[in-house]
Amino acid sequence: MGLHVLVLAGGSGTRLWPLSRTATPKHLLPLGPGGRTLLRATLDRVAGIGDDIHVVTTTTQAGACRDELVAAGLSDVAVIAEPVARGTGPALGMATEWVARRDPDALVASVHADSEVGDDEAYRAALTASAGWAAAGPSLATVGLAPPYPSTGMGYIELGAAANPGEWVAPRGGLPSRLVEVARSLPAFEAAGFAEKPQAATAQAYVSGGRHLWNLGLFAWPARVFLDELLRADPLLASALDDVITAREAGDEERASQLYAAQNSVAVEPLVFERTTKLKVVRAAFPWSDLGSWADLHTVRAAGGQADAAGNVADGDVEMVGAGGCTVISRGGRLIAVIGADGLVIVDTPEALLVVPREQAQRVKDLVDRLRASGRDDVL
């Protein structure tokens, strides 16, 4: 089976507003190592694992994603665009159908473009391991991360019985022997269930019990197995996505857009992975963050040595006196001065200024929802 990597690069730019906007969501910001965008860092990270790499995005972001593909030395036609955003379920269903028509025996891996990864080699090994388990089944497979702390903002996967390591097969594609060796050594299990964003006490119990892993949204599957599971879960959606690809191949983009826009928005986990009985889980451990808030970005940058002696992270024209634990970003063309404040996030852009306590950074999404409801598209 040839391995095709799908890089999910959608998103509406809510978590890191006002720096992240609809036209420039998180994965298109230069937040990766060396000032690369998160998308470019992801493309570089998965290069060499698969036979092909495709970016799955929305039509409005397709141009910017093509630019990142070219910068990474990849084909600018390797974009599979949703006509409108409908969640990871329809997006991955459409993309898998598109790949399967060109390679009926395709093995597919799906990754997100907007995460911070602290160990690229460990990440590649885990993704390779999941692809091998998917091919061996044939089945669906995912990567679960051993949780470094009890998070109430993450989804969890419960581990069932251990898988037989002798059944694992190396994905095709001339992968480095060291990568295959590490991938083969990673433990895998049957999936016993999913749990979304638990309460603090439950999250602590998950970590203490050692039978729950963070769900990173890193998946692998043989294309036909995934499409069969999708058909079983939602026959109408599966049929509609088949019609979308048929319309696109006939050059009828208007009909494809109409068909796709008529579908409900749903994530791939409740659509397919929470229903299937064919899911293996690879247990991995590497530094990782979904950069889901300004607080997460502060933590990552501070851990990466970008904070001063008082724990402040500054970017742009910033002066701080007697401040501690702040993230301050100046993009509005003016000096930002902070005196005697602790734990603030201040982000200044030409369109908007955000000031929020770091511990309340998750509420930025609520603000963006309010702005959207009030028609403030000028700042979104």
What are the residues facing 215 on neighbouring strands? 144
In 3D space, the residue among 183, 181, 209 whose CA is nearest the CA of residue 195 turns out to be 209
Rounded mean pLDDT of 166-183? Answer: 88
- Residue 229 has a pLDDT of 97
Together in a domain, 233 and 318: no
> Which position has the higher pLDDT, 23 or 306?
306
Rounded mean pLDDT of 60-76? Answer: 92
Together in a domain, 353 and 302: yes
Q: Is 102 exposed, middle or buried (0-12, 13-18, 19+ CB in 10 A)?
A: exposed
Residues 6+ apart with CB under 8 A from 197: 152, 153, 154, 155
Together in a domain, 245 and 368: no
Together in a domain, 284 and 303: no
Neighbouring CB atoms inside 10 A of 190's CB total 16
Together in a domain, 237 and 375: no
Last residue of a domain, one of 244, 263, 289: 289
pLDDT surpassing 90 at residue 172: no
| pLDDT band at 232; cut points 50, 70, 90 | very high
Last residue of a domain, one of 289, 307, 323: 289
Together in a domain, 209 and 269: yes
Together in a domain, 250 and 318: no
Long-range contacts of 255-262 (CB under 8 A, 24+ apart): 256/83, 257/83, 257/84, 260/82, 260/83, 260/84, 260/86, 260/90, 260/94, 261/83, 261/84, 261/86
Question: Is residue 203 within 8 Å of residue 152, measured between CB atoms?
Answer: yes
Average pLDDT along the chain: 94
333, two tokens: 């063309």
Q: Which residue has the tokens 């294309």?
A: 223
Together in a domain, 231 and 338: no
What is the tens place of the pLDDT at every residue in 311-324? 999 999 999 999 99
Together in a domain, 305 and 201: no
- Residue 23 has a pLDDT of 84
- Residue 186 has a pLDDT of 97
Rounded to two decimals, the pTM is 0.93
pLDDT surpassing 90 at residue 153: no
Together in a domain, 153 and 180: yes
pLDDT surpassing 90 at residue 171: no
In 3D space, the residue among 264, 45, 225, 258 whose CA is nearest the CA of residue 133 turns out to be 225
Q: Residues of the chain with pLDDT > 90: what percent?
A: 89
What is the tens place of the pLDDT at every residue in 328-341? 999 999 999 999 99
pLDDT surpassing 90 at residue 11: no
Q: What is the 3-state secondary structure (H, E, C) of the chain?
A: CCEEEEEECCCCCCCCCCCCCCCCCHHHCCCCHHHCCHHHHHHHHHCCCCCEEEEEEEHHHHHHHHHHHHHCCCCCCCEEEECCCCCHHHHHHHHHHHHHHHCCCCEEEEEECCCEECCHHHHHHHHHHHHHHHHHCCCEEEEEECCCCCCCCCEEEEEEEECCHHHCCCCCCCCCHHHHHHHHHCCEEEEEEEEECCCHHHHHHHHHHCCEEEEEEEEEEEHHHHHHHHHHHCHHHHHHHHHHHHHHHCCCHHHHHHHHHCCCCCCHHHHHHCCCCCEEEEEECCCEECCCCHHHHHHHHHHCCCCCCCCCEEECCEEEECCECCEEEECCCCCEEEECCECEEEEECCCCEEEEEHHHHHHHHHHHHHHHHCCCHHHC
Q: Is 201 exposed, middle or buried (0-12, 13-18, 19+ CB in 10 A)?
A: exposed
- Residue 1 has a pLDDT of 66
- Residue 4 has a pLDDT of 94
Together in a domain, 283 and 308: no
- Residue 174 has a pLDDT of 72
Q: Residues of the chain with pLDDT > 70: what percent?
A: 99
- Residue 168 has a pLDDT of 95
Question: Is residue 46 within 8 Å of residue 111, measured between CB atoms?
Answer: yes
Angle between helices 120-136 and 38-46 (to 10 degrees): 60
pLDDT surpassing 90 at residue 48: no
What is the tens place of the pLDDT at every residue in 75-101? 888 999 999 999 999 999 999 999 999
- Residue 22 has a pLDDT of 87
In 3D space, the residue among 167, 28, 163, 8 whose CA is nearest the CA of residue 85 turns out to be 8
- The domain that contains 252 carries what CATH number? 3.90.550.10
| pLDDT band at 110; cut points 50, 70, 90 | very high
- Residue 13 has a pLDDT of 75
Half-sphere exposure of 237 (CA within 13 A, CB side): 26
Last residue of a domain, one of 238, 271, 289: 289
Together in a domain, 339 and 352: yes
What is the tens place of the pLDDT at every residue in 276-298? 999 999 999 999 999 999 999 99
Residue 159 belongs to what domain range?
3-289
pLDDT surpassing 90 at residue 310: yes
How many structural domains compose the chain? 2
Question: Is residue 1 within 8 Å of residue 104, measured between CB atoms?
Answer: no
Rounded mean pLDDT of 134-140? Answer: 95
Rounded mean pLDDT of 255-265? Answer: 97
In 3D space, the residue among 57, 55, 142, 52 whose CA is nearest the CA of residue 106 turns out to be 52
Angle in degrees, CA 271, 277, 282, rounded to 5? 90
